[in-house]
Amino acid sequence: MSLRRGLTRFANFKTTRIFKIRSLSTHTAPNDQSTERKQTHFGFDTIDEEEKTKKVHEVFETVADKYDVMNDVMSLGIHRVWKDIFMQKLAPRPGTKLLDMAGGTGDITFRYINYLRNIGQKQTDKPSHVTVSDINQSMLDVGKIRAERQGYKGDPLVSIDWLCADAEKLPIPDESYNAYTIAFGIRNCTHVDKVLEEAFRVLQPGGRFMCLEFSHLSNTQLQWMYDQYSFQVIPVLGQLVAGQWKPYQYLVESIRQFPDQDRFKAMIEDAGFRQVTYENLTFGVCSIHSGFKL
């Protein structure tokens, strides 16, 4: 019955997709007192804007301990390849100061450290640093445990700190970092434009913004196959592996709500970034977006 409801919601969504999927702006709903409540999407649902942060927080609070296992199950391990390519594109050098936003469990941060180790960062090089930031403390707690178990804690060449913060209002001074990454996190934010503006603010001139996010396939037949897998298989896997259906139903719905590659590229440019580009991975299942603060 839950599967049928999910497919019905998806079918209804497809009929109005042209009106919904290209916009992340909020709208207002008047009430009897003539006040305005700003509204936004949560998956395919429309909710009061102030509720979204709470709901997203609850989703990741629920799945934190199974998050990495489910990534492997849902993507058949391909997410690891995507993240490896993402870090190769960033190509950090010794002395890089990275803000890894929505980085909770440490997947991007650990690749950053491994990359610096592999290129042979030396004691004489300028020290490198990464701040792992996430709005959900449970995700950060998982990341800290992984960092200690996998030998990343106390690295003499790359320091790590952990920051529980909202990507829309970072408690960070201007021009503090020269690289900013966010992987599979920006679509969960209520105001994507504010996240981009904050990324621009905390980056130093010449700093680089990079985002890895699910996107849209240009081939209609492949998109249909991807939709079938997403809506008929992923929530079932969530129930079987993590004991959770709804968070993974939200996951696939939130992907369909996110702008396509060109629209998101325009949003990054609107935030002030230049030389903005994107590269599709796996036919457009996800994309790497890049821009510079010049």
Q: Give the pair of three-digit tokens for residue 63.
A: 């799945």
* Helix, strand, or coil (residue 16): coil
Q: Which residues are annotated as a binding site?
A: 105, 134, 166-167
Q: Which residues are annotated as a binding site for S-adenosyl-L-methionine?
A: 105, 134, 166-167
Average pLDDT estimate for 8-29:
43
Q: Is the pLDDT of residue 113 over 70?
A: yes
State residue 171's pLDDT score: 98
Other beta carbons within 10 angstroms of residue 293's beta carbon come to: 21
The CATH class of the 42-218+259-293 domain is alpha beta
State residue 43's pLDDT score: 62
- Rounded Cα distance between 124 and 268, Å, is 36
Identify the CA nearest to 60 among candidates 116, 123, 105, 21.
Answer: 105
Q: What type of residue is 289?
A: H
CA distances from 148 to 63, 155, 286 (A): 21, 10, 30
- Rounded Cα distance between 90 and 182, Å, is 12
CA distances from 175 to 64, 75, 97, 160, 204 (A): 31, 36, 11, 18, 4
- Write the pLDDT tens digit of every residue in 37-88: 777 756 666 767 777 766 666 666 776 777 788 888 889 999 999 999 999 9
State residue 44's pLDDT score: 62
- Boundaries of every domain in the chain: 42-218+259-293
What is the pTM (predicted TM-score) of this model? Answer: 0.83
What are the backbone angles phi and psi of residue 153, rounded to the nearest 5°? -75, 135
